[in-house]
């Protein structure tokens, strides 16, 4: 099917499904013409798919059965039904173009690495910017942040060369002309013995429907294809695949403790780090901020954003496998839900950070998923949240699973970093 035919098909699927949900919800609040439920009383009854019963009905009672049988089943479902199948990564090819930089008043060493994703090194490539605390002796834990800005805008370091950025309309502009975000507080992590690396998601694939033409998915299209097949990768798989390629480099760097690399991303990149942690078990921790629908929030709740809104042809269909659209009609017909995505990270530390007024991303739905995944953490000898009571804002729960809801809206606040650092220290430094 061509890119444009597929868009037409989805548009039709949507028209059909809009009518089936609209009656039950507040018709005054719509996104893409689709009603939104913000009332807990209208959350339908639902049953989550079983985590610890395999497809042939066997109970999963041991670590071996989890890793050899059930986990591969769940991973395979997420590949085809949610994020899309992706190709094998190529052999690592990189160039360290700075290795003796110094930043933040000599607090950090700075390394910059160009990762080449294709044989032709003029094509798809991403820069990995790495700061390590100079004071630390021996390999250090690292926070690997995938972000919306090129590295030169992601941090406050005047010595960086200005990067190029994609607009959501598909233009490539100098970073200073693009959308601006607050620079990340690298120093706070360095002061706690934790390195920070950043990578720009647009270098892997630009974030707009036809972005594949300038991104890694376009590079892998077969002769005669003009869009990935319905079970193949959306951009979230592409960004995650890129993170896994970045990890191929990180394991070669002796100054980094590669067993202690924590992924961090916000929003669509919160969804991305969950999926990257699922497909690459070398990542030792995941911190997902406001990942919402398609991330940590239970789709069956139909609160805030739903599958239906998410994969609308005028919205974010391109971030997912084409097959996700078929669950817009009825999320209960899906063999998966977000608690199963979280289970793919178990027993590794996983922090879900949300905001109490970020209703669109359904903070309660993220908490419910964390509660639901607890049996898998326990089976694997790790600690779940150990409560079924949704905590108030500003009250972090930090076990192997972590949940923290700041008072406020979408994204991470600077004060959230203190909670992330507590979680990182708890698992990577004080253990």
**Cα gap 382→393, rounded to integer Å:** 25
Tell me the closest approach of the beta carbon of residue 259 to ligand GCU, in angstroms: 29
Neighbours of 343 (CB within 10 A): 27
Closer of 267 and 302 to ligand GCU (Cβ): 267
Q: How far is the CB of 296 from ligand GCU (least distance, A)?
A: 11
Out of 127, 257, 305, 400, point to the residue binding ligand GCU (CB under 6 A): 305
Minimum Å distance from CB 207 to ligand GCU? 9
The catalytic residue among 267, 289, 334, 343 is 267
Between residues 305 and 368, which has the closer beta carbon with respect to ligand GCU?
305
Shortest spacing between CB 14 and ligand GCU, in angstroms: 15
The answer to whether the CB of 81 falls within 8 A of the CB of 324 is yes
Strands (E), 117-255: 125-133, 140-147, 164-166, 172-174, 195-200
How many residues belong to the site for ligand GCU (CB under 6 A)? 7
> Interaction with ligand GCU in 329-368: which residues (CB under 6 A)?
none
Q: Which is nearer to ligand GCU, 211 or 292 (CB)?
A: 292
What spatial distance separates the first Cα and last Cα of the chain, rounded to whole Å?
52
**Residues sharing a CB contact under 8 Å with residue 310, sequence separation 6 or more, in sequence order:** 293, 294, 316, 319, 320, 324
> Which of the residues 261 through 300 are near ligand GCU (CB under 6 A)?
267-268, 292-293
| Tokens at 294, concatenated | 């398609």
Is 410 among the catalytic positions? yes
Minimum distance from residue 176 beta carbon to ligand GCU (Å): 21
Specify the residue for token string 């659209």.
325
Q: Among residues 249, 263, 324, 258, which one has the least CA distance to residue 294?
A: 324
Q: Is-catalytic flag, 309?
A: no
> Residue 29: phi, psi to the nearest 5?
-110, 115
User: Rule CB under 6 A: is residue 145 a binding residue for ligand GCU?
Assistant: no
Taking the least distance from each CB to ligand GCU, the nearer of 33 and 90 is 33
**Given 54, 244, 255, 410, which residue is catalytic?**
410
In the region spanning residues 77 to 106, those forming contacts with ligand GCU, defined by CB under 6 A, are none
Euclidean distance between CA atoms 313 and 400, whole angstroms: 38
Cβ closest to ligand GCU, residue 29 vs residue 395: 29
* Least distance (Å) between residue 316 CB and ligand GCU: 6
Instruction: Using the minimum distance from each CB to ligand GCU, give the nearer residue, 292 or 322.
Output: 292
Contact between 258 and 282 (Cβ < 8 Å): yes
Residue in this structure with the two tokens 């079970």, named with its chain if needed: 231
> What is the number of other CB atoms lying within 10 angstroms of the CB of residue 120?
10
Q: Which residues are catalytic?
A: 267, 410
Instruction: List interacting residues with ligand GCU (CB under 6 A).
Output: 267-268, 292-293, 305, 310, 316
């Amino acid at each position: 099917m061509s890119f444009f035919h597929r868009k037409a098909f989805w548009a039709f699927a949507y028209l059909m499904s809009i009518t089936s949900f609209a009656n039950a919800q507040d018709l005054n609040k719509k996104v893409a013409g689709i009603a939104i439920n913000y009332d807990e009383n209208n959350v339908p009854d639902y049953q989550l798919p079983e985590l610890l019963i395999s497809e042939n009905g066997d109970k999963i009672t041991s670590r071996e059965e989890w890793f050899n049988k059930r986990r591969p089943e769940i991973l395979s479902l997420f590949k085809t039904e949610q994020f899309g199948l992706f190709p094998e990564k190529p052999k690592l090819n990189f160039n360290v173009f700075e290795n003796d930089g110094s930043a933040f008043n000599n607090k950090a060493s700075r390394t910059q690495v160009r990762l080449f994703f294709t044989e032709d090194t003029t094509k798809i490539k991403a820069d990995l910017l790495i700061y390590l605390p100079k004071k630390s002796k021996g390999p250090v834990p690292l926070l690997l942040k995938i972000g919306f800005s090129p590295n030169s805008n992601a941090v406050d370091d005047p010595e960086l060369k200005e990067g190029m950025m994609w607009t959501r309309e598909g233009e490539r502009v100098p970073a200073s002309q693009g959308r601006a975000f607050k620079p990340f507080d690298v120093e706070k992590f360095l002061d706690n013995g934790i390195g920070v690396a950043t990578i720009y998601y647009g270098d892997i694939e630009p974030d707009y429907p036809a972005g594949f033409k300038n991104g890694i998915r376009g590079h892998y299209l077969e002769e005669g294809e003009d869009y990935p097949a319905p079970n193949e990768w959306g951009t979230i798989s592409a960004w995650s695949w890129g993170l896994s390629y970045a990890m191929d480099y990180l394991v070669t760097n002796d100054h980094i403790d590669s067993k202690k690399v924590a992924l961090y991303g916000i929003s669509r990149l919160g969804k991305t780090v969950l999926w990257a942690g699922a497909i690459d078990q070398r990542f030792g921790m995941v911190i997902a901020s406001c990942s919402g629908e398609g991330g940590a929030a239970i789709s069956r709740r139909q609160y805030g954003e739903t599958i239906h809104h998410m994969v609308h042809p005028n919205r974010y269909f391109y971030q997912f496998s084409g097959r996700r659209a078929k669950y817009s009609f009825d999320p209960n017909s899906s063999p998966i839900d977000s608690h199963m995505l979280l289970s793919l990270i178990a027993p590794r530390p996983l922090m879900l950070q949300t905001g109490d007024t970020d209703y669109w991303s359904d903070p309660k739905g993220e908490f419910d998923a964390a509660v639901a995944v607890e049996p898998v953490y326990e089976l694997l000898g790790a600690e779940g949240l150990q409560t079924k009571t949704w905590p108030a804002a500003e009250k972090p729960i930090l076990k192997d699973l972590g949940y923290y809801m700041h008072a406020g809206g979408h994204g991470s606040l600077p004060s959230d970093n203190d909670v992330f650092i507590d979680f990182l220290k708890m698992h990577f430094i004080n253990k």
